[in-house]
């Protein structure tokens, strides 16, 4: 300080004035620079605050954005769980940015897909109902038999040709019975009867080809054992059904059944706008004739000799020879048998008791020894007065005794009517 003072003392007044002016100017510059610095500091401080506020706002918006992105992600997970509702994205759809647009499109898409899904479900349900309805007309077993996946795969002419057993059954005197009922009562009666006995056909691997009013035509692709067992069980079911009818004051039903076996064709017949299942062969017509003969002979179940020969175990059944006949429309005789297992127990027992005498009478008849046959049949009828087949033979013997037997007599009876 002393050195500065000594220097100042050495200066002239003019030098002092100049030095003073220089210092004053330096002070002004310093003050100006200070003001500029303060201005800069204020500017920097102001911009820093704005930047900080902007960054904080962006952080808040980013946090909100991330949160709403999570909401969208959660909505996507809800879709996978089939738990999505429009309320999931209510808070996001209000946004005006791309995320809001995404939420809007996502919601609309999911709702459209769910609506389409409901339509498909209804259509599938309707289709399932249609298939179930079609299966009542074309059973699944028949599709399998024709090697078809669905009813829509069936075409006119589709068929299978093979040896099969065929069954015809019919209610005796149904026309007379129907005359006592109204049309509605007729329908109710038929449906009740068929619903009671028809399931046994399917239970024994059979296929119902058609219902013919009170009648049934069915085929058994696996052979005669199924057909015969089905018929015997049906006869048992019929007895149960008759007990119900009699308890209500109705007359019992009598049903005749015929069974034959042979080569036949089973398939789709008709025309493009109306098709149905059917079995075609001469063997079909022959079976229908057998069923018709049950009424003539007063028996419940008739089978052809072909059926008898193809049974796995003939000894399992009680069988009675009935006749050798030529049915209307054919020229070749067939031998027919009654299956006693289908008869009511008392009827079966009485026929079995008289079976030896009955077979002896038949043997005499076929040999042309009419008087001996007549005597034997009388014995059988005395023991079993309700045996209609024996009554028939006695009537036939009286007729034959009035004329000369042909030289080639073989005991074959030819029917001129169905």
pLDDT at 121: 82
d(CA 99, CA 97): 5
Q: Cα separation of 401 and 393, whole Å?
A: 12
- Indicate whether 136 pLDDT > 70: no
19: Cα within 13 Å, side-chain hemisphere: 11
pLDDT band at 2 (very low <50, low <70, confident <90, very high): low
Q: How confident is the model at residue 7 (pLDDT cuts 50, 70, 90)?
A: low
Residue 198: closest CA among 243, 153, 255: 255
- As a whole-number percent, the residues of the chain with pLDDT over 90 amount to 45
Identify which of 83-92, 131-140, 397-406 has the greatest average pLDDT.
397-406
> How does residue 67 score in pLDDT terms, banded at 50, 70 and 90?
confident
Quickly count: other Cβ atoms within 10 Å of residue 138's Cβ: 18
- pLDDT at site 104: 79
- Please check whether residue 365 is in contact with residue 393, taking contact to mean a CB–CB distance below 8 angstroms: yes
Residue 1 is predicted with a pLDDT of 56
pLDDT digits (tens, 9 = 90+) for 249-290: 888 999 999 999 999 888 888 888 887 878 888 899 999 999
Exposure string over 26-58, b if 16+ CB within 10 A, otherwise e: eeeeeeeeeeeeeeeeeeeeeeeeeeeeeeeee
**Lookup: tokens for 34:** 């200070």
Q: Which of 51-65, 232-246, 265-279 has the highest mean pLDDT?
A: 232-246
CA distances from 49 to 36, 52, 54, 62, 106 (A): 20, 5, 8, 19, 40
Q: Mean pLDDT across the stretch 177-182?
A: 87
Over the stretch 113-126, which tens digit does the pLDDT of each residue have? 778 778 878 877 87
* pLDDT, position 31: 80
| Tens digit of each residue's pLDDT (9 = 90 or more) over 33-43 | 777 777 777 77
With a cut of 80, say whether residue 168 has pLDDT above it: yes
Give 131's pLDDT tier (boundaries 50, 70, 90): low
Residue 159 has a pLDDT of 85
Average pLDDT of the chain, as a whole number? 86
For position 292, what pLDDT does the model report?
94
Q: Can you give the pLDDT at residue 6?
A: 65
pLDDT at 203 exceeding the cut of 90: yes
Provide, rounded to the nearest whole percent, the portion of the chain with pLDDT above 70: 93
Domain 157-321 -> CATH class: alpha beta
Which stretches does DSSP call E strand in 238-328? 255-271, 274-280, 301-304, 319-326
For residue 87, the 8-state DSSP code is: G
- pLDDT band of residue 367 (cuts 50, 70, 90) is very high
The pLDDT score that the predictor gives to residue 90 is 76
Residue 418: pLDDT band (50, 70, 90) is low
Q: Are strands 255-271 and 301-304 parallel, antiparallel or unpaired?
A: parallel
Give residue 87's pLDDT band: very low, low, confident or very high (50, 70, 90).
confident
Q: Tell me the residue length of the chain.
A: 418
């Amino acid at each position: 300080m002393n050195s500065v003072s000594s220097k100042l003392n050495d200066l002239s007044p003019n030098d002092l004035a100049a030095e003073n002016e220089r210092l004053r100017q330096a002070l002004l510059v310093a003050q100006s620079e200070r003001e500029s610095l303060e201005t800069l500091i204020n500017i920097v401080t102001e911009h820093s605050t704005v930047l900080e506020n902007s960054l904080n706002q962006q952080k808040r918006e980013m946090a909100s954005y991330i949160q709403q992105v999570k909401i969208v992600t959660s909505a996507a997970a809800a879709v996978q769980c089939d738990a999505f509702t429009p309320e999931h994205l209510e808070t996001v759809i209000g946004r005006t940015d791309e995320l809001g647009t995404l939420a809007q499109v996502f919601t609309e898409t999911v709702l459209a897909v769910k609506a389409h899904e409901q339509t498909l479900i209804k259509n599938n349900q309707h289709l399932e109902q249609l298939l179930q309805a079609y299966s009542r007309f074309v059973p699944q077993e028949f599709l399998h038999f024709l090697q078809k996946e669905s009813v829509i795969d069936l075409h006119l002419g589709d068929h299978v040709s093979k040896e099969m057993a065929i069954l015809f059954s019919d209610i005796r005197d149904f026309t007379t019975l129907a005359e006592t009922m109204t049309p509605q009562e007729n329908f109710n009666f038929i449906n009740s009867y068929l619903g009671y006995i028809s399931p046994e056909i399917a239970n024994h691997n059979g296929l119902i080809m058609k219902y013919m009013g009170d009648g049934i035509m069915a085929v058994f692709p696996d052979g005669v054992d199924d057909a015969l067992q089905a018929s015997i069980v049906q006869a048992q079911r019929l007895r149960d059904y008759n007990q119900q009818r009699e308890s209500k004051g109705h007359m019992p039903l009598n049903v005749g059944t015929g069974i034959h076996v042979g080569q036949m064709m089973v398939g789709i017949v008709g025309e493009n706008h109306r098709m149905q299942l059917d079995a075609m062969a001469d063997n079909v017509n022959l079976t229908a004739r057998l069923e018709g003969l049950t009424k003539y002979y007063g028996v419940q179940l008739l089978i052809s000799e072909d059926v008898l020969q193809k049974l796995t175990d003939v000894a399992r059944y009680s069988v009675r020879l009935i006749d050798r006949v030529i049915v209307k429309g054919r020229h070749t005789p067939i031998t027919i048998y009654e299956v006693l297992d289908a008869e009511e127990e008392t009827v079966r027992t009485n026929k079995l008791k008289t079976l030896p005498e009955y077979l002896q009478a038949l043997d005499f008849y076929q040999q042309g020894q009419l008087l001996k046959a007549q005597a034997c049949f009388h014995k059988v009828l005395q023991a079993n007065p309700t045996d209609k087949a024996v009554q028939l033979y006695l009537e036939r013997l009286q007729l034959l005794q009035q004329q000369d037997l042909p030289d080639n007599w073989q005991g074959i009876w030819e029917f001129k009517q169905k």
